[in-house]
Amino acid sequence: MSYEIIGKLVAKFNVVQRTETFKTREFVIEKSEDIGGRTITNYVKFQCVQDKTALPDKFNIGDEVKVLFNIKGTKWVKDGKENYITNLDAWRMETVKMGEQNPAPDFISDTPPPDAVDDLPF
């Protein structure tokens, strides 16, 4: 299942080579909401993996962005104790222009929208 959030990019970290074949990168967005007259600010850290580690490169600190992500959870046992970790795996980032309800993607996709009719015979 995919989720999305819009916020201000406040941090971008370097790519970390975890193993010879696996790399990650983290970034943080700031999301403020008015709840009952109080402004609540959350800082949400995302992880990008493999070829997605370049996603934050297109954006500057302070840019308003839309992040599309999946929630991933892992369980492992160390020294007889169960441990859990949850990651927010970002797979797409888009530019958000002020006052724009449906932000335009920062890329051109050759994938048709889900409701497009495919009338090719193969």
Structural domain boundaries in the chain: 2-95
For residues 3 and 117, give the distance between their C-alpha atoms in angstroms, rounded to a whole number: 25
For residues 47 and 71, give the distance between their C-alpha atoms in angstroms, rounded to a whole number: 10
Judged by average pLDDT, the poorest of 1-5, 10-14, 50-54, 79-83 is 1-5
User: What is the average pLDDT score of the chain?
Assistant: 84
Assign a CATH topology to domain 2-95: OB fold (Dihydrolipoamide Acetyltransferase, E2P) (2.40.50)
- Model's pTM, two decimal places? 0.74
CB 77 within 8 A of CB 52: no
At a CB cut-off of 8 Å and minimum separation 6, what does 53 contact?
15, 23, 24, 25
DSSP, collapsed to helix, strand or coil, labels residue 58 as helix
